Amino acid sequence: MTADATTSSGAPAPESPRKVARLSYFFPAHNEEANIEALVAEALETLPTLAETFEIIAINDGSRDKTGEIADRLAAAHPDVVRVVHHNPNRGYGGALRSGFETSRYELLAFTDGDRQFKIADIGRLTARLQAEDHPDVVVGFRIKRADPFIRVAYARTYKLANRIFFGLRVTDVDCACKLFRREALAGIRVESAGAFFSAELMNKIRQSGRSIAEVGVPHYERTAGSPTGAKPSVIWRAVKDFWGLRLRLWFKRAETLQRGRPILGGD
């Protein structure tokens, strides 16, 4: 299998992608009381068109508002398909994603963020790409047109360039929160970061381990409720430290570095 990313065009996915057998969908939520109920309702309506069997996992990452309370109510109303993982205290974005991976049960794992800047229906673009003849191990979205403030777009462009120069990671939008994984592609993958560098470390280690990565364009929508935290100086500084820690260790102790961190899959 090739380790380089292959990029598709931003053309719309088929209107009715072929259903996959079993899909785990999860999302991190930190103070998303204004979004979580609508997001779960959207998932409950849409996922039956994408998968024969599915589950929805909400990761309440130390929220101080009613996110956890609403999530528990939704899980009680839909016990067969909705589950909640609570973090107290907050573990950070990477820690929330990690819990999603660890608690997912099915052969395909997908996630978006909890802020509703992606539509659940667009996961269908990823499942359609996964079923292409080359059978990629991972499909990552890239935002066709980012609906973010200029400062976040500027950070993202710098981050993309840094990952390309220092890791050779040719992924258009490494932090796009719309990704799909085959479970077997995550076997043996370990990640150290618990912060904003989590996705980039995961992508880099998947590439270093020889799994194939494909890309597909997805729409991106403006946040209509809640407040983003990704551009906070403390978040950025932690990501910078994690970035250089991984780069230096890969230069000097590659094999050992690929085995550092906790397994992405809980049973590994």
- % of residues, the chain, pLDDT over 70: 88
Q: Is the pLDDT of residue 58 over 90?
A: yes
Q: Which domains does the chain have, with CATH numbers?
A: 5-259 (3.90.550.10)
Which residues 6+ apart lie within 8 Å of 169 measured at CB?
5, 163, 200, 203, 204, 207
How far, in Å, are 8, 54, 103, 178, 220 from residue 92 at the CA level? 31, 26, 17, 18, 23
Residues in CB range of 98: below 8 A, 6 or more apart: 91, 191, 194, 198, 262, 264
How far is Cα 230 from Cα 93, in angstroms, rounded to an integer?
Answer: 9
Per-residue pLDDT tens for 237-246?
788 888 888 8
Residue 67: pLDDT over 60:
yes
**CB of 233 within 8 A of CB of 163?**
no
* Enclosing H/E stretch for 182: strand 178-182
> Quick one: average pLDDT of 231-252?
81
pLDDT at site 110: 98
pTM, full prediction: 0.85
Three-state SS across 37-84? HHHHHHHHHHHHHCEEEEEEEEEEECCCCCHHHHHHHHHHHCCCCEEE
